[in-house]
């Protein structure tokens, strides 16, 4: 298999979707309440932000492709995925602090 046969695009999209869910989930949970109230706020936050909702949909639509990408990772691609995860974690922390 060649280095670029699968790439890492879907893996990056999954990471972006997870970051979006983590930020929105934190924002929904910080007010408190039971699980139903938190999930209701999470759905409300996602519906109010179509871009965020689409990021999550795209992330999970491509999960089967992520498995193929991970199995085909080169060392360079592995480092690129780690760098992307770090960048998204920092962005998520910034978004939470700004909210």
- Domain assignment present for residue 71? The answer is yes
- Domain assignment present for residue 98? The answer is no
- Domain assignment present for residue 16? The answer is yes
**Lowest pLDDT segment from 15-29, 43-57, 58-72:** 58-72
CA 95/CA 88 separation, integer angstroms = 10
pTM, full prediction: 0.87
Tell me the pLDDT tens digit for each residue of 39-61.
Answer: 999 999 999 999 999 999 999 99
Alpha-helical runs (H) found in the chain: 9-29, 35-47, 50-61, 63-71, 75-98
Q: How many domains does the chain have?
A: 1
- Domain assignment present for residue 2? The answer is no
- Domain assignment present for residue 63? The answer is yes
CA 25/CA 6 separation, integer angstroms = 31
Q: What's the gap between Cα 88 and its chain centre?
A: 8
């Amino acid at each position: 298999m060649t280095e670029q046969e699968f790439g890492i695009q879907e893996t990056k999209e999954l990471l972006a979707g997870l970051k979006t869910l983590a930020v929105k989930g934190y924002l929904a949970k910080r007010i408190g309440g039971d699980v139903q109230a938190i999930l209701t706020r999470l759905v409300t936050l996602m519906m109010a932000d179509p871009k965020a909702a689409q990021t999550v949909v795209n992330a999970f639509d491509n999960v089967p492709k992520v498995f193929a990408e991970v199995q085909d990772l080169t060392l360079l691609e592995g480092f690129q995925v780690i760098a992307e995860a770090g960048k998204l974690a920092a962005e998520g922390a910034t978004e939470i602090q700004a909210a």
